[in-house]
Structure 1
Amino acid sequence: MIRKFASRLTRRESIPSPSNGPSSTKVSRSRSVHTGWNTDPDLFRYTRGRFVSNEAHEMAIRQVNFNMNELAKRVAESVGSTLTQCARVEKFPDGMFNKAFLFTMQDGTQVVGKIPNPNAGRAYYTTASEVATMDFVRNHLGTPAPRVLDWSSKATENPVGAEYIIMEMVTGVQLKTIWPRLDIRERFEVAKSISRYQKAWMSTLFTQYGSLYYLSDLDYTNPIMHRFAVGPSTGREFLDDGRIVMEFDRGPWNSVEQYKLAVGRREIACVQNMSHLPQSPLSLYGPGTYNPSRSKKIASLRNYLRVVKYLLPVDKSISSAFLWHPDLHSENIFVHPERPSEVLGIIDWQSSEIMPLFDHARQPYFLDYNGPSMTGLDPPVFPENFDQLDPAEQAAAQSLYLKMSLSALYRRFTCATNERLFRAMEFRQTPSFEMMLFAQNILVDGEALYRSRMLELEDEWSTLPGVQAAGNPPIPFHFSAGEANAIEEDAAGAIKAMELMQSLRQSLGNLWPEKGVVSPGQYDEVKTLLDQAKAEIVGPLAHSEKDRMAWEKSWPYHG
């Protein structure tokens, strides 16, 4: 039971973010008056949707004020034109972390300009690393990343007034536009193409963990391949949920153990120093469920620090450091419209990291599979009771079977052509990996179930390969009978909180605000439904005015 819900807590890593980069869908705004682009406020703010919780803050961290006229001038110069030859500026639909614009010259040349939002990452490092990464994967790893024409990672030292990247427009169409009409054979061909790029990314082994930069953009010298070096991580885990402004070790790290220890220490630093803990996106906490606790979060993480070296894989080859694309979903992959297995571009390299292979080895998001965990090479089994299901259940079962089949094909192809990556994929299904993955987001949620897993670990300890390889040392912590009872009680409350959130999500169906965002036209309806659901959920759990007030305070969907 605990593992079932623990996997839900860690599933956060497999939910793709809305696209951070250019999209080929309809742009939201254009203006063709030369040097008049600064007058349109929609170019600088988030317009793709509305937030059902803490909207003023969410909008503020996605507002960027800069000089669009100066950006247009630099775009024109990057292709040998002048500002007066820039015929049109169009805004792509907002990503969660960036704004992207399509600039069209009078001769038809099209160029993309990208501006990071304040929530995209730390100033300077985010843009500097993204540019170096695109250069490296394009010119050293043979990946069709966009070619950068001009860029600046220093907002105060350029007339645009913001960090920016100007790059070539990627050709082809987004994979998402044609994926629904592809049969399983065609989808598998796309998966094989991406798998080949993954193998190419494994052709360069790094000696440190972090993110990639030009050597000239770092204060120290530890070069790789002459112009490049590994520096602080720009990964989203080191930025999201308020971590962006906190002080902790961001790397680079010289070993996988250093890196994994830094993850635990990062979470402790944030738990200790944040004025308010982030709201969980997976649980509804309040009277009658579990009460999130800083002290229990820190206790969980200290136990993690004690055991992490025993959780690392015995197979050192899958701990090796590689550079990887962070978000292989169908909006970030551009393909030939008639030959979809021909990948023409992979965009959005922001937040790329050099991490252990086993951290990279998740199934690509574009395969659109979020069902039961799959191990080994056996094909999925079609439901034996298929004929007894009603039409809706049959459609759901058939859809799941097809997605499982595609996932199985990808796994078999990876095993045959990139066996090292397959071994890393298999390690991700072990209790050792589960315990590492579970710990890396305890700032936000999960300490109750993590402590329960630690309780179970006492019985499993001697079976862990890392423990056996170390000569079977004793487990470095112990829970008393009283502590064990309290942990199980907390876990039961945490599971109830997750079930409440699941119930809330199901009650809204297709109107559920994924990542807290809804379309502007649905905002009022969704807010009304959330208020109604709150009354239905909180009513049976609030046994006093004090309980009701506590639920009112903890309810996540306020304005």
Structure 2
Amino acid sequence: MSTNREMDASSEYHTKPDPVNYTSGRWLRGDKLQRDARHIKFDFDALCRRVIELCPGAELIASYVKMEGGFNRVFIFTMDNSKQIVARLPFVPAGPPTLVTASEVATIKYLQTRTSIPVPSILDWSNDARNRIGAEYIIMEHAVGVQLHKIWPAMADDQQVRCIDAIYRKLKEVVDMDFPAFGCLYFADTPLDPASKIFLDEDFCIGPHCGPRYWDCNVGEPRYYHRTRPNRGPWTNLNAYCDGLIDAGLSRIPLIDSETEKQPLYQGSVRTHNTLLECGRAVLKQMSADPRIQDAATPVLFHPDLHKRNIFVSEEDPAELTAILDWQAGSIEPAFWYADEVPDFATPVDPDHDLCTRAFNLCSQFLTPKLSGPRSMDENLFRPFRYSYRTWKDGAVALRHELIETSRHWTELGFVGTCAYAKPTLEELSVHQKEYRYFEAAQNLRRDLSSLLDIASDGWVPLENWEATKSAQKDTFIGILHAVSTNEPSGDDEPIQTEQDLKSIWPFDLDD
């Protein structure tokens, strides 16, 4: 292939969609920050040349499609010999630089060598942005078949049931694997601190968790590390894992309170968060000592986003699985961490037609009992774990509520001794209940606005709907504000009684 042909092959791309900037949508909250976090400065022509090199028999790229999600930019290249190649570049919110790509590749290779799960082959990858392309990337074969979400509505009931069975028979191979620690998979020779490696064999190890909760990659959520050192694993037992959750929560707390007048009532002071998290640490360790929690905390690797869009099936037989994609941020967690996640193919559109839900429950029960066991347990046994790392984002009231409920029902939940979190006084409980009603109002408002405006919960809007959605949000705010202003005061049972109350819990940006 000549240099001239390379130049000819790449020159047409400049008339295609912008490969560098995020162009798929806008955000009603922190729009510039969100789009800046998804700007990737790289050499698109170099990427195209590398794709051509990796496709024997192809001389140029006939066409390409650019796709963008919350964590990656994807290019699907169609070559002049009709083959398709996929290139994926991670955004900042995907996870820590170098580690998130290295872990995903290692996870895919681990699955390919130890299971029969169909995952497209990786043709090339780099987790060093100093490469000739100028960004981290993974280049892989295109999945065979068709995305499940495209044909699911047209599938017969028996095909849907057989498809769910096929998915879980494959995932059983993953869930059945044994691991000695919690964290993420890496190649054994990945350049990590030796103290951060737990070797599985000569090829693979468990290393630091690369989920966003442990790193400074969540847009608009800075980390401070004033009170704790980074604690990202790997963790060899549940106690250590819990320390990681609490330390992740502490790492997001600033040194001093700032702009507290702009925070909702339930946010809580810096001191409140620090005290609450240390109490939470003691409670989680008490709970972790319970044999039931221990049994439900077996280290398990599972798919991080198991939904129809990441599953490919045969066009001839839609019950035949051809690929499970997107293992980015796949991690080894306590089994209970995955237990309450229900894939979209198991959620009935019609409540009276729950065949797929029943198929999912049966497949999970008999094929992945490590997950179905915790799912059948009282969810209150696990709720404090889920809120412990995100108090500064949620507000102190969310974790406090879980700790209060755990303390109040300690004996009913089957724990022995006395809960490390003391039951609140009547006065403290009254204050908490008022703040919690405020918190619930904020959560309900976000949910209702997302539904009403037809947007994602983080405020993402498709680009073509941007202006109309901005206008609709403004009209909605004015309408709710009018209702709040004209309603008669109804006491503490109604937390939103003033314009300031409404503004403090409004989840999206408002023009002055």
Provide the TM-score with structure 1 as the length reference: 0.79
- Cα deviation per residue 1:294-339 (whole Å; 9 max; x = unaligned)? 4444343222211102333624343121221100011100001231
Q: Can you list the C-alpha shifts for 1:64-93, whole angstroms capped at 9, x where unaligned?
A: 1111111122222223467xx122341332
**Partner of residue 156 from structure 2, selected from 183, 187, 190:** 183
Deviation of 1:554 (Å): 6.1
CA distance in 1, matches of 2:51, 2:306: 27
**Structure 1 residue corresponding to 2:237, chosen from 243, 250, 255:** 255
Secondary structure of 1:358's match? helix
2:29 aligns with: 53
In angstroms, what is the RMSD of aligned CA positions?
3.0
Partner of 1:518 in structure 2? Answer: 461
Letter in 2 for 1:209: F
User: Which among 62, 66, 69 is matched to residue 95 of structure 1?
Assistant: 69
SS at match of 1:76: helix
For 1:42 and 1:480, how far apart are their aligned partners in 2?
59
Q: Is the 8 A contact 1:206 1:322 kept in 2?
A: yes
Deviates more, 1:260-269 or 1:39-48: 39-48
Match of 1:161 among 122, 129, 134: 134
Structure 1 position 478, deviation (Å): 4.0
Mapped partners of 1:334, 1:262: distance in 2: 35
Question: Which residue in the other structure is 1:133 paired with?
Answer: 107
Which residue is 2:363 aligned to? 413
Q: Does 1:484 align with 2:429?
A: yes
- Note if contact 1:277-1:443 (Cα within 8 Å) is conserved in structure 2: no
**What letter corresponds to residue 181 of structure 1 in structure 2?**
A
- Say if 2:287 is the partner of 1:314: no
Alignment of 1:72-221 (within 5 A): 72-80=48-56, 85-156=59-130, 158-219=131-192, 220=194
**CA separation in 1, counterparts of 2:308 and 2:198?**
35
Report the alpha carbon displacement of residue 263 of structure 1 after superposing the two structures with TM: 0.7
Structure 2 residue aligned with 1:231: 207
Q: Please give the alpha-carbon distance, in whole angstroms, between the structure 2 residues aligned to 1:550 and 1:483.
A: 21
Partner of 2:481: 538
CA distance in 2, matches of 1:107, 1:481: 74
Structure 1, residues 453-494: CA drift from partner, whole Å, max 9, x if none? 3223333112334x33xxx24544342332222112211222
The ranges of structure 1 where at least 4 consecutive aligned residues each deviate by more than 6 angstroms after the TM superposition are 274-278
The answer to whether the 8 Å contact 1:530/1:557 transfers is no
Partner of 1:422: 372
| Distance in 1 (alpha carbons) for counterparts of 2:156 and 2:263 | 43
How many percent of aligned residue pairs carry the same amino acid? 24
In 2, Cα distance between equivalents of 1:202 and 1:253: 19
- Aligned equivalents of 2:108 and 2:331: distance in 1? 12
What code does the residue aligned with 2:246 have?
A: G
Q: What SS class does the counterpart of residue 42 from structure 1 fall into?
A: coil
For residues 488 and 459 of structure 1, what CA distance do their matches in structure 2 show? 14
After superposition, give the CA deviation of every residue in 1:505-551 in whole Å (9 maximum; x if it has no partner).
4543xx334431222222111111111111222345469xx964675
The CA distance in 1 between the partners of 2:22 and 2:376, in whole Å, is 40
Task: Confirm or deny that 1:441 pairs with 2:362.
Answer: no
SS of residue paired to 2:74 = strand
- 1:116-162 residue CA offsets vs partner (Å, 9 max, x unmatched): 12222211101111111111112212211121111110011x11000
Pick from 389, 395, 400: which aligns with 2:351? 400
Higher mean C-alpha deviation, range 350-359 or range 476-485: 476-485
Structure-2 separation of matches of 1:487 and 1:450: 11
Change (3 A) 1:244 1:206: farther
The CA deviation string for residues 16-46 of structure 1, in whole angstroms up to 9 with x for no partner, is: xxxxxxxxxxxxxxx9942326745611222
Q: Deviations over 1:170-205 (max 9, x none)?
A: 110000001111233322211111111221002321
How many residue pairs get aligned? The number is 482
Contact 2:213 2:248 in 1 (8 A): no
Gaps of 5+ in 2: 1-5, 487-496
Q: Which amino acid aligns with 1:99?
A: R
Contact (CA 8 Å) 1:199, 1:418: kept in 2 or not? yes
Q: State the distance in 2 between where 1:477 and 1:197 align.
A: 46
Helix, strand or coil at the partner of 2:158: helix
| 3-state secondary structure, aligned to 2:480 | helix
Residue 367 of structure 1 deviates from its aligned partner by: 2.0
Structure 1 residues 245 and 106, CA, compared in 2 at 3 Å: closer, same or farther?
A: farther
In structure 2, distance between residues paired with 1:400 and 1:440: 34
C-alpha change, 1:246 and 1:139, in structure 2 (3 Å) is farther
Partner of 2:492: none
Matched, 1:460 2:417: no
Structure 1 pair 71/425, CA: closer, same or farther in 2 (3 Å)?
Answer: same
Q: Given the alignment of the two structures, is residue 66 of structure 1 paired with residue 42 of structure 2, yes or no?
A: yes
Residue aligning to 1:25 = none
1:137 to 1:460, Cα distance in 2 relative to 1, 3 A:
same
Distance in 1 between residues matched to 2:11 and 2:485, nearest whole Å: 56
Q: Which amino acid aligns with 1:177?
A: K
- SS of equivalent to 2:189: helix
Secondary structure of residue in 2 paired with 1:311: helix
Tell me the distance in 2 between the aligned counterparts of 1:432 and 1:290.
24
Aligned to 1:9: none
Structure 2 distance, partners of 1:99, 1:274, is: 37
Give the structure, 1 or 2, with the largest relative contact order (CA under 8 Å, sep 6 or more). Answer: 1
Q: Distance in 2 between matches of 1:65 and 1:277?
A: 34
> Could you say which residue in structure 1 is the equivalent of 2:439?
494
The letter for the 2-side match of 1:460 is H
Distance 1:446 1:358 in 2: 24
> For structure 1, which segment, 453-462 or 133-142, has the greater mean C-alpha deviation from structure 2 after superposition?
453-462
**Pair 442,177 (structure 1): closer, same or farther in 2 beyond 3 Å:** same
Mark the runs of 5 or more structure 1 residues left unpaired by the alignment: 1-30, 279-283, 371-395
Whether the 8 Å contact between 2:29 and 2:509 is mirrored in structure 1 is yes
Alignment CA distance shift 1:475-1:142 (3 Å):
same
Q: Report if aligned partners of 2:304, 2:327 keep a CA contact under 8 Å in 1.
A: yes
In the alignment, residue 310 of structure 1 is paired with which amino acid? Q
Counterpart residue identity of residue 97, structure 2:
A
Contact persistence 2:300–2:332 (CA under 8 A): yes
